[in-house]
C-alpha cells in the first residue's frame, strides 16, 4: 500500500454513460497525476495538478475528459459519453516536489470496462 487510494477499483459501464473516478493522494503531496494504461503498455500521461491548479493536459485528453482537484486535496476524473476505446486502467499518482527527486507514488488504479 503506497498511501494513494483510488475508487472504485473496478467500473463496468455501457457505452455513452458518464463515469467518475476519485483519487486520494498522500496528504502532504502537492502534485497529483492521472495516467491511462492499456494492456502491455506503460502508463500514458493524461493530466497533472500542482496543488489545485491543473498545469498540464495531454493531447490524449479529449473534451470528454475532465479532471478537478478542489482545494488541492483529492482529485476526480470524469469521462463523459464513454466509448469502448476508453476501456483501460486509470492510474493516479502523487508526489512532493523536491529538487532532483520527485518520486511518484501510484494508487492501485481503477479498471474501466466499457461495454
Partner 1 sequence: KNQVEQSPQSLIILEGKNCTLQCNYTVSPFSNLRWYKQDTGRGPVSLTIMTFSENTKSNGRYTATLDADTKQSSLHITASQLSDSASYICVVSASRGSYIPTFGRGTSLIVHP
The binding site for partner 1 (CB under 8 A) comprises 2, 4, 31, 33, 40-45, 48, 50, 55-56, 89, 91, 93, 97, 100-109, 111
d(CA 35, CA 93): 8
Q: How far is the CB of 56 from partner 1 (least distance, A)?
A: 6
- Per the CB < 8 A criterion, the answer to whether 43 and 112 are in contact is no
Output 67 or 91, the one with its CB closest to partner 1.
91
Q: DSSP secondary-structure letter at 108?
A: -
Residue 17: CB minimum distance to partner 1, A:
23
Do 97 and 30 contact (CB within 8 A), yes or no?
yes
Helix (H) or strand (E) holding 50: strand 44-50
CB of 18 to partner 1, least distance (A): 24
Q: How far is the CB of 12 from partner 1 (least distance, A)?
A: 15
Q: Toward partner 1, which CB reaches closer, 79 or 91?
A: 91
Q: In the Cβ-directed half-sphere of 107, how many Cα atoms lie within 13 Å? A: 28
C-beta of 5 vs 66, nearer to partner 1:
5
Amino acid at each position: 500500500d503506497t498511501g494513494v487510494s483510488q475508487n472504485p477499483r473496478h467500473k463496468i459501464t455501457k457505452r455513452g454513460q458518464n463515469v467518475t473516478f476519485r483519487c486520494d493522494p498522500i496528504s502532504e503531496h502537492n502534485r497529483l497525476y492521472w495516467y491511462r494504461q492499456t494492456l502491455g503498455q506503460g502508463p500514458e500521461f493524461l493530466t497533472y495538478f500542482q496543488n489545485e491548479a491543473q498545469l498540464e493536459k495531454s493531447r490524449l485528453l479529449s473534451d470528454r475528459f475532465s479532471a478537478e482537484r478542489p482545494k488541492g486535496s483529492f482529485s476526480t476524473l470524469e469521462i463523459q459519453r464513454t466509448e469502448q476505446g476508453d476501456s483501460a486502467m486509470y492510474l493516479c499518482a502523487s508526489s512532493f516536489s523536491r529538487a532532483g527527486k520527485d518520486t511518484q507514488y501510484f494508487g492501485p488504479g481503477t479498471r474501466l470496462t466499457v461495454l
